[in-house]
Amino acid sequence: MKEKGLLIVLSGPSGVGKGTVRKEIFSQPDTAFEYSISMTTRKPRQGEVDGVDYFFKSREEFETLIEQDKLLEYAEFVGNYYGTPVDYVKQTLNEGKDVFLEIEVQGAKQVREKFPDGLFIFLVPPSLSELKNRIVTRGTETEDIINNRLSAAKEEIEMMKLYDYVVENDQVENACDRINAIVVAEHCRRTRVEPRYLKMLEAE
């Protein structure tokens, strides 16, 4: 019997650096999990590539996929849709591979309902004031957008209770080390591995 892979969900407040952490993890040569590329209706930022960073879709295309139930989760955030195509995730888990999602908190909540056994990791800034600095110094947004994001971030930190783990993004490398450790640990969780060992005992 082949064991199913682990669904790893990385989420956290807007501006905390989820994308940077995810990119760093997947730049490591020994990363053992598969990245599920999200879909979005937001415009690509400088340097973002369709099919690598996101699948960029029109609002109309996205809403058709919602109707066809082809999304594991989706959320509207600051006026844009973000979502996860479901087929790739299910197929890859069934192959015994771990799948890594980097998604917004609204979407993570939906995934939790569908995959209660998933591994839910909440990325947080060292402090809220540091979060503010990060959003401001991105330097491409109006003050209204910044204030909206800050307010959303406060609400999202209160959503922490839906997660299994909280990882502080003090430095990208540290955050990645913690996430990798969490995945290793989770593969050792007794409730996940017990069936295999009980079988071993019977075979003796």
Is there binding between residue 200 and a copy of itself (CB under 8 A)? yes
Burial grade of 189 (CB within 10 A; 0-12, 13-18, 19 or more) = exposed
Q: Distance between alpha carbon 76 and the CA centroid of its chain, in Å?
A: 15
Minimum CB separation from a copy of itself for residue 177, in Å?
Answer: 7
Q: How far apart are CA 6 and CA 47, in angstroms?
A: 30
Which listed residue (54, 122, 152, 176) binds a copy of itself by CB under 8 A? Answer: 122
The answer to whether residues 40 and 81 touch, using CB atoms and an 8 Å cutoff, is yes
Is there binding between residue 188 and a copy of itself (CB under 8 A)? yes
Q: Distance between alpha carbon 104 and the CA centroid of its chain, in Å?
A: 7
Is there binding between residue 128 and a copy of itself (CB under 8 A)? yes
Is there binding between residue 172 and a copy of itself (CB under 8 A)? no
In 3D, which of 129, 127, 111, 128 has the Cα closest to residue 119?
Answer: 111
Minimum CB separation from a copy of itself for residue 133, in Å?
Answer: 13
Tell me whether residue 83 is annotated as binding: no
Q: How far apart are CA 89 and CA 4, in angstroms?
A: 11
Which listed residue (138, 151, 194, 199) binds a copy of itself by CB under 8 A? Answer: 194
**Which amino acid belongs to residue 156?**
E
Is there binding between residue 166 and a copy of itself (CB under 8 A)? yes
The answer to whether residues 196 and 142 touch, using CB atoms and an 8 Å cutoff, is no
Listed ranges 17-25, 61-69, 107-115, 184-192: which one lies at the site for a copy of itself (CB under 8 A): 184-192
Which listed residue (21, 101, 167, 176) binds a copy of itself by CB under 8 A? Answer: 167
Is there binding between residue 180 and a copy of itself (CB under 8 A)? yes
Which listed residue (124, 134, 135, 148) binds a copy of itself by CB under 8 A? Answer: 124
